[in-house]
Structure formats: structure tokens, C-alpha cells
Amino acid sequence: MHRASNTYVACILFRALTAVLLFHFGVWLDHLRIVENLRLYLNSDEITRAAHPPDSGGKERPLFLGRRFAQGGNRERMFNSGGAGYVLNRAALEVLAENALDNPQCQPHLKGFWEDVQVANCLKKAAGVLPYDTRDELGRERFHPFTPANHLAYRIPRSGKDWYAQYSIDLKEGADCCSARSVSFHYVKHELMPKLHALLYDCRLSSTLPLPRRTNQQAG
């Protein structure tokens, strides 16, 4: 009876969320979110067209946005990294609301920490919804499972024996790792959070100012 009651409450909550939310963003406490970039991306022409293609008959298409991973390197088993955070539009959230708790294909009684894999499996098996490619026009990622410094410094091992390189899709290195309009970073410790916030918001205007010219005396 207790389990049935919990299931009923969860169903009510899911359906209430789909009634009021245009998008749902799943994140963690050690997760840095750049809300302005997220808003720009969700309101972009690209996402608007993806959610409302010409052949949809006016009905919203489910979108599952985030950092795509190929489980074990298998692109037939794609999911969005839970660490990087993922976004579901209302149509995708409705699929979960209708299937996650009572559709056997979604394995509602399976216990484990891999909620990101299970969300992807449920969306795919219940409605054929796949993780959307959220890279920018230069092929740089918007959603990131590690800190900015980790991504900037990461290099693909020559051996190729690294889970991150194996799971990633067309991974880029160095400054090409991250979009200028990045949305999220993970594993940001509490002492790092205000520092990144200061760099993003307090120093952003200074980068547009011209550098001072060096005089001959200074150059000498």
C-alpha cells in the first residue's frame, strides 16, 4: 500500500510539472549553470525548429538535450550525462510521466545510481526519443561533465583507454573543448563556485576593452 501511494504521488507530481513547465533541467548541487546561455539556447531558432518541425502538424516533438555519451563507445546506446545536466521539454517530460513508473520497458523497479542511463532508455523505448546533438556550429560542446579547467587541459590518451574518450562523440581538445555559449559544468566545488561566478559576471565587460598600448620606453 505504501509503495502504491508513493507511485500515485509521483504520477501526480509528474503530471503537474508537465502542465506548468516548458522545460525541465536536471542538475546537481556541484553543478555550475550559466542560465543566460541556457535561455538563449532554448529560445534559439534551432531548438524551436527541432521542437516544431514542419511535419509535426503543430504538435511539439519531445527533445532530450544535454551532453551525449555513447555507453561503452556504442552509439546505439546513447544517453545524456547526468553530471553535465540534461533538459527535457514538455513533450519529453510527458513521455516520462506516462511511462517511467508503470511501463515495464522503463524498468521502474530497477535500483541504481545510473538515472541518466535509465531516463535515456525509457525515452527511447517508450517513444523513440534520442539524445539531441547540442554542439554549437563549430562542433564544441555546451554541456560539460567536468570543470572548465579539466576540459581545457584534457588530452585524449594515445592508448585510447580512457572512459571519457571512449564515451564521448567526436571529442575536441584544448580551447575547442567548450562552446563560447556553454551551459553547464560539473564537479564544481563550493570554494570554486564564487570564483567562476566572478569571472563570468564581474570580469566579462573587461574583456571587451582595448589593451593599453605599450610605449617605446615600456617596450625597452
Confirm whether 19 is domain-assigned.
Answer: yes
Confirm whether 215 is domain-assigned.
Answer: no
pTM: predicted TM-score of the whole model, two decimal places: 0.81
Confirm whether 214 is domain-assigned.
Answer: no
Closest CA to 130 of 72, 39, 50, 54: 50
Closest CA to 184 of 196, 174, 173: 196
Confirm whether 60 is domain-assigned.
Answer: yes
Q: Is the pLDDT of residue 22 over 80?
A: no
pLDDT of residue 5: 45
**Residue 120 CA from chain centroid, whole number:** 12
Mean pLDDT of 186-211: 75
Count of structural domains, the chain: 1
Confirm whether 17 is domain-assigned.
Answer: yes
pLDDT digits (tens, 9 = 90+) for 57-105: 889 999 999 999 999 999 999 999 999 999 999 999 889 888 988 899 9
Confirm whether 216 is domain-assigned.
Answer: no
CA distance 135 to 183: 11
CA distance 79 to 208: 38
Give whichever of 20-24, 37-41, 197-201, 209-213 has the largest mean pLDDT: 37-41
Q: Which domain holds residue 169?
A: 2-205
Confirm whether 119 is domain-assigned.
Answer: yes
Which CATH number characterizes residue 30's domain? 3.90.550
Indicate the range of 63-67, 79-83, 196-200, 202-206 predicted with least confidence.
202-206
pLDDT digits (tens, 9 = 90+) for 126-169: 999 999 999 999 999 999 999 999 999 999 998 878 999 999 99
pLDDT of residue 207: 44
pLDDT of residue 26: 64
Cα angle for residues 120, 149, 186 (degrees, 5° grid): 30
Greatest CA span in the chain, whole angstroms?
A: 83
pLDDT digits (tens, 9 = 90+) for 31-58: 899 999 999 999 999 999 999 999 888 8
Confirm whether 220 is domain-assigned.
Answer: no
